[in-house]
Amino acid sequence: QAAEKGGYEHFMIKEIHEQPKAIKDTMTSRIMSDSDEIVLDDIKLTKEDLDNINKVFIVACGTAYHAGMVGKYVIEKLARIPVEVDIASEFRYRNPIMDEKTLLIVVSQSGETADTLAALREAKKAGARVMAVTNVVGSSVAREADDVFYTWAGPEIAVASTKAYTTQLIAMYILALYLGRLNGKLSVEEFRTIRDEMLVLPEKVEKLIQNKEELQKFADKNHMHRDMFYIGRGLDGSVSLEGALKLKEISYIHAEAYPAGELKHGPIALIDQDIPVIALATQEELFEKMVSNIKEVVTRGAKVISFALEGNTDIEQVSDQVVYMPRTISILTPILSVIPLQLLSYYVAVIRGCDVDKPKNLAKSVTVE
């Protein structure tokens, strides 16, 4: 196993470092700098099929569900098709409205999660078209779906998902671009802006990973807390959920993620000097609103570590520590902002002496319902 870890102490940190390559591999041959077309070999969905679809469901569990939340946002934004995201174990039991005008996208690293597979089968029974986004070639969801999108993350060993998540996000962006171009809702100019920004993401991710000392410093100071809060608005809210999940899974610290504007409707009652708050403020149009939300927790004594884009230095006035990220367009920030959150969870878990790669009570793939 030591050899498989390639010199790293744990699979998780190795897999965090593999993300620039995994992201690049997932984009290769699908998005090209000199082409206005997305090439998806295993997707047979035609323009005619798409014109017939009036509703998309994204169904998944755990980290894949968090990727689905970003998927909803980007598919609605770029392809203007209504999307609902569902937790697979809930989906079947709420009698979802599906027919041949429905596209159901399942997202699953392993492709074997029982609840996700059951949702896929339910959708097929109802006549829906089914697409699988998975990391495992020939997995059950890949075999049973009409269309397949493989994330090329390579094998993921650590129970806590890292590179599978970032490549699932890339899959969501590529699909949104593809659908938006196919139905004509996305202009070629906007397509090019997003394409060009996506192609430089691997270097930006690399830069963030190199910046790991900052997160180590935070972990040194904050690994003894019982609770932590993660707050964000819009896409930052979805990434906050993933950040909090990572911390819970491997460090056993109670972490709660909340849409920042919703704090005052309850959870702010819990905030005091013993609860560090991780604030994501990468969405330009929501930046000022986030700064006010951060002030609300600072007033209650919270210590805040903020994540913002380079140049947005106003945030320093309301934060104890700021981690800056390379600039990109707002819809792509999840790919960048999750990296320091993964590192933060990793270092906190290591300092606490936890079994990082094999956390208690968790399995890599859950094949029972």
Q: How far is the CB of 335 from ligand G6P (least distance, A)?
A: 17
Which residue is catalytic, options 55, 124, 185, 364? 364
| Minimum CB distance to ligand G6P smaller for 126 or for 366 | 366
| Minimum CB distance to ligand G6P smaller for 64 or for 339 | 64
- Which is nearest to 275 in space by CA: 224, 227, 215, 341? 227
Residue nearest to ligand G6P (CB): 62
- Which is nearest to 209 in space by CA: 21, 19, 356? 19
Residues 6+ apart with CB under 8 A from 221: none
Q: How far is the CB of 66 from ligand G6P (least distance, A)?
A: 8
**C-alpha distances in Å from residue 284, one per residue of 238, 261, 340:** 16, 16, 19
Q: Among 45-53, 59-67, 69-77, 119-127, which window interacts with ligand G6P (CB under 6 A)?
A: 59-67
Q: Among 70-78, 233-241, 321-329, 358-366, which window interacts with ligand G6P (CB under 6 A)?
A: 358-366
Q: Does 137 bind ligand G6P (CB under 6 A)?
A: no
Q: How far is the CB of 104 from ligand G6P (least distance, A)?
A: 15
| Minimum CB distance to ligand G6P smaller for 159 or for 260 | 159
Q: How many CB atoms lie within 10 A of CB 129?
A: 22
What part of residues 64-103 is at the interface with ligand G6P (CB under 6 A)?
64
Which segments of the chain are extended strands (E)? Answer: 55-60, 83-87, 102-108, 129-134, 147-150, 227-232, 254-259, 277-281, 304-309, 321-325
- Answer yes or no: 21 catalytic: no
Q: Which two tokens stand for residue 339?
A: 């990296």
Q: Is residue 330 packed enough to be buried (19+ CB in 10 Å), middle (13-18) or exposed (0-12)?
A: middle
What part of residues 160-189 is at the interface with ligand G6P (CB under 6 A)?
161
Q: Which of 20, 62, 276, 340 binds ligand G6P (CB under 6 A)?
A: 62
Q: Does 342 bind ligand G6P (CB under 6 A)?
A: no
Please answer whether residues 238 and 66 qualify as being in contact, where contact means their C-beta atoms are separated by less than 8 angstroms.
Answer: yes
Q: Does 358 bind ligand G6P (CB under 6 A)?
A: no
Please answer whether residues 329 and 24 qualify as being in contact, where contact means their C-beta atoms are separated by less than 8 angstroms.
Answer: no
- Report how far residue 303's alpha carbon sits from residue 301's, in angstroms, rounded to the nearest whole number: 7
What part of residues 100-119 is at the interface with ligand G6P (CB under 6 A)?
108-110, 113, 116
Longest dimension (CA), the chain: 57
Q: Site residues (CB under 6 A) for ligand G6P?
A: 61-64, 108-110, 113, 116, 159, 161, 362, 364-366
Which residues are known to be catalytic? Answer: 364
